[in-house]
Chain A
Amino acid sequence: MASAVSATGAVRTTRQKSPLRWVLRVLVITYLFFLVIWPVALVAKATFSRGLAPVIESLSQPEVIFAFQLTLVVAFWAVLINTIFGIGISLLLVRYTFPGRRALSALIDLPLSVSPIVVGLSLLLVYSGQTGWLGSTLENAGLQVIYAPPGIVLATAFVSLPLVIREIIPVLHEIGTEQEQAARSLGASPVQTFARITLPAIRWALLYGVVLSLARSLGEFGAVKIVSGGVAMRTQTATLLVEERYGQFGPDNTTSAYAAAFILALIAVIALTIVTSLRPDKESS
């Protein structure tokens, strides 16, 4: 088969264009076209169906601006917490041995496969002001968590927790400890070793993890819906706004739902493109 010689005398190699290859190619492109490409294009079209002016007008409503501001602030804190926690726990998991390390390493992944609704419920049970395990204590100390921004940050941090960790752990394994040990033996402090040796080595993976967490944080919906209450101008994030506006009648509300959704989708696609273009290709070689 591989040595078969075609009529033109060229040896057929693995690059041959067999019918099966064409069938697969057409099947895959058609599938992706109907599942992703066409629907996404239609949302972009629907957003601008009445022109640019209504879109800009709906995006400049105070409720919409507030929702996006809240979303950005929440995402900032969630990503910051997850980055610091992520670097710390990754170094501990890779560089140290301690009892329960394997269990911790597996449990870290749990937030990715737990339903956002279960995440919301679990936070409600612990931090709710009336009935929560810790909520009433915190409320007496003046900190309201549920139906307030801290709860939204907690929910967002929960769902995006493993993303940074899962990106930097393989790199930490890969680079080994020789350079770090050399630096330490030459008298560098732990902070210097981290800043000069470890951080530069993991910076691409870290950036990748951060962008992933950011995209996930901006788009979180289910968990936030339970813990935030979704009050406009107080605890309504951008995704909650899309839901509310879509449910209301009138072309203006529909336009603002689509406009907000379009902005969120745009951020997601931009983040995605940045990530794929920034990441050095040496990873997969």
Chain B
Amino acid sequence: MGLALLLVIWLITLVSTYFFAAKTWWLPAGASSAAGFIDGQFTLTLILMGIVFLAAQLALGYFAWRYRDRPSAAPAAYSHGNVKLEIIWTALTTILFVGLNLMGYPVWAANRWEPAKPGSVQVEVTGMQFAWYFRYPGPDGKYGATSPKLMDPSAGGEAAVGLNTSDPASKDDIVTGTMYLPVDREVDLTLRAVDVIHSFFVPSLRFKQDAVPGLMIHMHFTPTQIGEYEIACAELCGLGHYKMHGMVHIVSQDDFDKWMAAREAEKQ
């Protein structure tokens, strides 16, 4: 029985470890400035926890086999523990866990404790059952007023977010169902939700933030790779949660300007 346990525990441990190490399923290629750091911190955590995982599981399996009861076994040791070992173990774990945690703060602080730099691209993201809308303030750099009374989700676009078209600042506001962003420029997001909580998750950009009714949440990030990336809602928002899907197109500044000009032309 001891041998069976050893084999099963070791096999489970090695197979589990293999798929982490082989990266058979892995983080999607990063496309934002934070991705390198986040992936590095993830890998570091994985290696450290992996070592503990292997050590503990392999020891567990080995002990089960090595100390199995059999006629030739030595009598069980009579010991109530070892205070010195406990202290060493406690200190090491504390240093490992807390130290690892502190190492992750530079990026968290840069992304969440400080506001976006002036001159960043302004985009307002609005979540509603079960769609994302993106609003750009246009050349005046100001978002027009919106009103809950004007919201009409079935109409889509400007009407869905309740844009008040009589507000002069709204004249050049662009509302789209697909997000376009210029590469290598910081993006200043404002996240809103009109009905229930949604979560704006773009795995490739290493970006996630809940959009909460009643809150205007500011977040910022910098895309670094041109491409098309999927948005998935990450907070249970109702029966259509699984299809609350969107796209982010990261394009060159030129392409972004052209796209924006075309949208402004359409609107006029």
A, B co-complexed: no
